[in-house]
Chain A
């Protein structure tokens, strides 16, 4: 297993310019080093998984990508062009859409209202300018169908959907409004096993439609089945980056958990546990 940072991640596997790329990015808050020398990229039709335990720098990283924070050092490129986003809106205008874990939909509002919130299609002018409800509902049906979801009732409040379905609404919305790169912030962390599987399927679907997906998670078991490339962060630094064929699931889990640290921990636990006598 190779644990080495910063080589041959400039280009995607087929040599094309990546949709989104960061090179040697660092972020300092005063004298705190939140992120140091991190590189990663994602191309069209690829899923890059960013893995890390709590405090690894995942959220700082996502905030730089989504335009909430600006990087202190390094380069951020979108389709080969250097950028410096000043707001999430800025990033969205360049096709970088971030789906935040719990801040994406309004539970009491209906599906179609949520889908178009902030960018409602209108007809008419002046005081008669109104939302084109028919068109909004039709587009919502179509876009959800492209994700493989058959919406029966456009007026259903989003709060009655399952967590996975709500993620799907956010993803479908981002795609419809022109996202080229989807950044998903821990989309599976609050979900059960089955729902997580559903979200992973949406990620694959987005990839098949030609989007670049950056999938942030602390769960290597969720990342491994869908990822084309894995980037592991640890204490604000790049621990390693692998293409899919360069690493096995077990190695990824090991690396994620801090390798030898976990072995040690397992032994300690085993020593401490006094096996109870087998039940009669």
Chain B
């Protein structure tokens, strides 16, 4: 890579024309510098592949199907991507969607709350769990991988244990009959565009992706998220509140998990105790496919969304093509491996030339 900075001899360079300097960066270089480029090409390839193999995949109703899968996944992938850019993991994010849905179900069907107070309490509880995750990681200075792995198992146990103890089964049902359920359903689980029936979660997903992109690229918080993940010491040295930023990211992640849990619970009117278990890895895969580095400091929200779209297309595409759905795990593994290899190249070129 050519050096873009050249110390000229003796006299300081004149402060002049910025434009001719900017134009020297080639279009290709700019494109390659985008973290989501690889994911975009991958999404095109996967989309075209399934459009060829399965006829129903090409239709609008088919699209409503795969965007539905991608949307709840995508909401989580975006917040998990923010957390990963900030240099941390949350393995409890999947189980947290189940915990939130179950809590909302128990609050409303067993303990007599109506829907909206139940939702408020559920979101507050989830935020508290996320804050605790972040606080523990910051105070113990342990890897977030291990701390949230513990949270994951605790939540998994609580989900199954409480649900069985209280309802006698492994599911909580009857949310549709709770007062206030109708208005909540409009916001969280309705459909639009008859007769294809796109899910409202698609709108949430797009809105959250736009908001996250705005935060990352245009706000101080976004700058700080990149910095705490890229080099926490350097960030601290210039006055970035590293701990507060990271704790906030953990809190956002679990709050988004509550949103997804509520969506799922309201959509089906019931929720399983095992909901969300294992999905934490799918979120991370989507984020990594979207260009997030596992080591932090680099990535994008749009990329994570494209990653989620790839996963959504593959899950539904495999089903529509009439293949056994177990193949989706093979697919996830392969795209993850490919993405990690591509990201490695990106990192070495971005961090290269260190002398």
Chain B, residue nearest A177 (CB): B238
The count of A-to-B residue pairs whose CB atoms sit within 8 angstroms is 148
Complex: A142 Cα to B16 Cα, angstroms: 9
Docked-complex contact B223 and A149, CB < 8 angstroms = no
Q: Inside 8 A of B214's CB, which chain A residues have their CB?
A: 130
Docked-complex contact B297 and A163, CB < 8 angstroms = no
Chain B, residue nearest A195 (CB): B355
Q: Inside 8 A of A148's CB, which chain B residues have their CB?
A: 7-8, 11-13
Q: Inside 8 A of A155's CB, which chain B residues have their CB?
A: 25, 30, 33
Instruction: Encode contact with B along A49-91: 1 for CB under 8 Å, 0 otherwise.
Output: 0000000000000000000000000000000000000001100
Task: Decide: A131 near B220, CB < 8 A? Known: A119-B238, A150-B13.
Answer: yes
Q: Report B1-37 residues with CB < 8 Å from chain A CB.
A: 1, 3-8, 11-15, 18, 21-22, 24-25, 30, 33
Task: Decide: A117 near B33, CB < 8 A? Known: A129-B219, A148-B7, A152-B4.
Answer: no
Q: Inside 8 A of B15's CB, which chain A residues have their CB?
A: 141-142, 145-146
Q: Determine whether B174 belongs to the interface, using a CB cutoff of 8 Å to chain A.
A: no
Instruction: Encode contact with A along B157-179: 1 for CB under 8 Å, 0 otherwise.
Output: 00000000000000000000000
Complex: A147 Cα to B7 Cα, angstroms: 9
The contact size tier of chain A is 35 or more
Q: Inside 8 A of A137's CB, which chain B residues have their CB?
A: 18
Chain B, residue nearest A194 (CB): B355
A194 to chain B, nearest CB (A): 10
Complex: A109 Cα to B231 Cα, angstroms: 10
Complex: A148 Cα to B353 Cα, angstroms: 21
> Which of the segments A37-45, A100-108, A225-233, A270-278 contacts the partner chain?
A100-108
Docked-complex contact B238 and A145, CB < 8 angstroms = no
Q: Inside 8 A of A131's CB, which chain B residues have their CB?
A: 218-220, 222-223
Docked-complex contact A159 and B355, CB < 8 angstroms = no
**A163 interface neighbour in B7, B293, B354, Cβ under 8 Å:** B354
Q: Inside 8 A of A191's CB, which chain B residues have their CB?
A: 355
Complex: A104 Cα to B347 Cα, angstroms: 19
Docked-complex contact A153 and B351, CB < 8 angstroms = no
Question: Would you call the interface of chain B mostly helix, strand, loop, or mixed?
Answer: loop
**B240 interface neighbour in A117, A138, A150, Cβ under 8 Å:** A117
Complex: A88 Cα to B231 Cα, angstroms: 18
Docked-complex contact B12 and A147, CB < 8 angstroms = yes
The contact size tier of chain B is 35 or more
**B235 interface neighbour in A89, A118, A145, A192, Cβ under 8 Å:** A118
Q: Determine whether A160 belongs to the interface, using a CB cutoff of 8 Å to chain B.
A: yes
Q: Determine whether B131 belongs to the interface, using a CB cutoff of 8 Å to chain A.
A: no
Q: Inside 8 A of B6's CB, which chain A residues have their CB?
A: 149-150
Chain B, residue nearest A121 (CB): B220
Complex: A93 Cα to B6 Cα, angstroms: 32
Q: Determine whether B226 belongs to the interface, using a CB cutoff of 8 Å to chain A.
A: yes
Docked-complex contact A162 and B230, CB < 8 angstroms = no
A124 to chain B, nearest CB (A): 10
Docked-complex contact B352 and A162, CB < 8 angstroms = no
Q: Inside 8 A of A250's CB, which chain B residues have their CB?
A: none
Q: Determine whether A201 belongs to the interface, using a CB cutoff of 8 Å to chain B.
A: yes
Q: Inside 8 A of A168's CB, which chain B residues have their CB?
A: 7
Q: Report B234-277 residues with CB < 8 Å from chain A CB.
A: 234-235, 237-240
Q: Determine whether A151 belongs to the interface, using a CB cutoff of 8 Å to chain B.
A: yes
Q: Determine whether A11 belongs to the interface, using a CB cutoff of 8 Å to chain B.
A: no
Q: Determine whether A156 belongs to the interface, using a CB cutoff of 8 Å to chain B.
A: yes
Q: Determine whether A161 belongs to the interface, using a CB cutoff of 8 Å to chain B.
A: yes
Docked-complex contact B4 and A151, CB < 8 angstroms = yes
Q: Inside 8 A of B218's CB, which chain A residues have their CB?
A: 130-131, 133
Chain B, residue nearest A130 (CB): B218
Q: Determine whether A189 belongs to the interface, using a CB cutoff of 8 Å to chain B.
A: no
**A113 interface neighbour in B13, B223, B237, Cβ under 8 Å:** B223
Q: Inside 8 A of B288's CB, which chain A residues have their CB?
A: none
Q: Determine whether A120 belongs to the interface, using a CB cutoff of 8 Å to chain B.
A: yes
Q: Determine whether B227 belongs to the interface, using a CB cutoff of 8 Å to chain A.
A: yes
Docked-complex contact B226 and A108, CB < 8 angstroms = yes
Complex: A119 Cα to B6 Cα, angstroms: 26
Q: Inside 8 A of B226's CB, which chain A residues have their CB?
A: 106, 108-109, 113
Q: Inside 8 A of B11's CB, which chain A residues have their CB?
A: 148
Q: Determine whether A198 belongs to the interface, using a CB cutoff of 8 Å to chain B.
A: yes
Q: Report A154-206 residues with CB < 8 Å from chain B CB.
A: 154-157, 159-163, 165, 168, 191-192, 195, 198, 201, 205
Some 19 contacts from A to B, beta carbons below 8 A apart, are A88-B237, A100-B237, A106-B231, A109-B227, A117-B223, A117-B224, A118-B239, A118-B240, A130-B218, A131-B218, A141-B15, A145-B13, A145-B15, A148-B13, A149-B6, A152-B22, A156-B25, A159-B354, A195-B355
Ranked 9 nearest A-B pairs via Cβ = A118-B238, A106-B230, A159-B351, A118-B239, A130-B218, A152-B21, A148-B12, A150-B13, A108-B297
Contacts A104-B234, A148-B13 aside, 11 further interface pairs with beta carbons under 8 A come to A106-B231, A106-B235, A106-B297, A109-B230, A109-B297, A130-B218, A133-B218, A145-B14, A148-B12, A153-B24, A161-B3
